[in-house]
Amino acid sequence: MGLFFLRSLAAAGSLQRRQLRRLATDGAEGYPAGSVSLQDAALHSSNNPRHPDQPGSELAAGDSGSSSSAQDGQDQQAPSLAAASTAAEAEGAQARQQHVGEGLRLAPAADTVVHSQQAEQQQQQQLEQPGSPWQLPKVPWSLNTTITIAVLWLCCFLALNNSVVPALLRWSGIQAASKAAGAGSAAAAAEAAARLHVVRHLLLETLQVVATMLLLRRSLGRYKPRQLGLFATPFWPLRRWLLAVAAGLLTFPVIDWVYHRVVLLLPAAEEYAISQQLVSSSSWETSALWFGALVVCSPIWEELLFRGFLLPSLAKYLPRWAAVAVTSLIFACLHFNREGMLALLLLGAVFGAAYAYTQNLLAPIVLHSLWNASHLVRVLLGGNGGAL
């Protein structure tokens, strides 16, 4: 804009100089030589316009008028055009700065979103694809946390078994109804006792499922264990965990034989014998409750606790085989079954090996359910069951 303005001024000055030269030439032609000077001729020409017949008079007047009006218009428009150009350039620069700033702000956010999506996809693929066989997931929590959770679970179990469940049976009226139903005859008393026993057992197992899940979620939630492959229960692919289940089933006859050899050497405890009688004397409705307690609820919380939590926690500090052995020993001891101690120890080793091979809790849960179901059927049919 400034260059255009300078060019306009230069053109106007050039036009004025041409007009002066033309006037001077015309004055010299209209007066005798030496009579007047060029300045007088120019003054005389401006005060006394030439005759219309004289060439160049109208052109000079028209050029002079148009030049002065153009110059005035340009002088008036130049500041406004310069201001408008400056404002437009400032707005353009500000817009470019805003776009650049927005790009700089959005670029890290976009990169973060892309990276997070890629990480989630990789993590999902890792969860869908099982890890290498015998490679247990690594736990991020310490041994202190493991011991604390184990102690809390034991306190919770004792509280449920000794206080909460008996209180619920009293408050609900189930215990009183059972006593009233068994007042008629010995058979009715046996059936009422069997029904009360299974209701108590089912209530305890159900509360154990809820308490174990809540305890593990509350204590380990901040570590996001599912994202680390812990407590995984993927149904697909079937091949590996079904293969582990099939291999585990092959060990059941051996473990059952060991159990019966131990029973022959050790006399059955009175409490365990009474428990066997209570189970075998129940009706089919009561048998369904036993299946719910021992085939559904019990395997879920026991495998969550022992194979899902305790086994990987110990494998962080012990060799894998030692972690399986220690977990199996604790598993057997907490069943409080002297005759089934060795059989439960072997079962715990089979369940632990199935989980270590698959990193999938479905394998030990299914094996545990099948073991309990097979021996519960034998007890209900009047035979000698195994370690439940």
Q: What is the pLDDT of residue 61?
A: 44
**Token couple for 169:** 């049976």
DSSP 388: -
Gyration radius from the chain CA atoms: 51
50-54, 292-296, 323-327: segment of lowest average pLDDT: 50-54
95-104, 202-211, 284-293, 335-344: segment of lowest average pLDDT: 95-104
Angle value at C-alpha 312, between 306 and 315, nearest 5 degrees? 115
pLDDT, greater one: 70 or 163: 163
46-50, 237-241, 295-299: segment of lowest average pLDDT: 46-50
CA distance 258 to 261: 5
Is residue 211 predicted with pLDDT exceeding 90? yes
DSSP string, 124-140: HHHHHS---TT-PPPP-
User: What is the arithmetic mean of pLDDT over 299-310?
Assistant: 98
Residue 326: Cβ-neighbour burial (10 angstroms; 0-12, 13-18, 19+): middle
Q: pLDDT for 21-78, tens place per residue?
A: 665 555 544 444 444 444 444 444 444 444 444 444 443 444 444 444 445 555 555 5
List, in order, residues 6 or more apart from 231 with CB less than 8 Å away: 216, 225, 304, 308, 309, 361
How do the domains of the chain map onto residue ranges? 2-114, 143-380
Q: pLDDT for 92-116, tens place per residue?
A: 667 666 655 565 565 555 555 556 6
Mean pLDDT of the chain: 78
Q: Which DSSP helix (H) or strand (E) runs through 247?
A: helix 238-265
pLDDT, greater one: 208 or 384: 208
Amino acid residing at 278: L
DSSP 307: I
